[in-house]
């Protein structure tokens, strides 16, 4: 009886630890390393959307959604700043 209770506790602890590790990995999956940054300008018509990476990431970045998938972009790049200004102007005139 003691062995089965200890085994049950061990299995529950392992399951809890595994789920905690998985949630940690999934939150880090939204981060970009410097090596992952897309270096060239992306034409505006290819951009489907974007989102900033969480503040817990080691590098500040933007995940840009394209038809082919997501790419990491430096939010300080001049072309991206121009894209944001155009989007802001487009959104303010459409409302």
pLDDT tens digits, 61-93: 999 999 999 999 999 999 999 999 999 988 887
CA 93 to chain centroid: 29
Token pair for residue 32?
A: 């970009």
Which domains, ranges and CATH numbers included, belong to the chain? 31-94 (2.40.50.40)
pLDDT-derived band of residue 11, with 50, 70 and 90 as boundaries? low
C-beta atoms surrounding 7 within 10 Å: 10
pTM for the predicted model, two decimal places: 0.63
User: How many CB atoms lie under 10 A from the CB of residue 5?
Assistant: 9
pLDDT digits (tens, 9 = 90+) for 20-65: 333 334 444 689 999 999 999 999 999 999 999 999 999 999 999 9
């Amino acid at each position: 009886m003691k062995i089965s209770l200890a085994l049950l506790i061990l299995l529950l602890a392992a399951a809890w630890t595994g789920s905690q590790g998985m949630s940690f990995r999934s939150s880090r999956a939204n981060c970009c390393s410097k090596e992952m940054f897309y270096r060239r300008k992306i034409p505006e018509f290819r951009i489907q959307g974007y989102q900033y990476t969480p503040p817990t990431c080691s590098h500040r970045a933007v995940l840009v959604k394209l038809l082919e998938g997501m790419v990491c972009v430096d939010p300080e790049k001049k072309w991206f700043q121009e894209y944001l200004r155009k989007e802001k102007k487009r959104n303010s005139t459409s409302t």
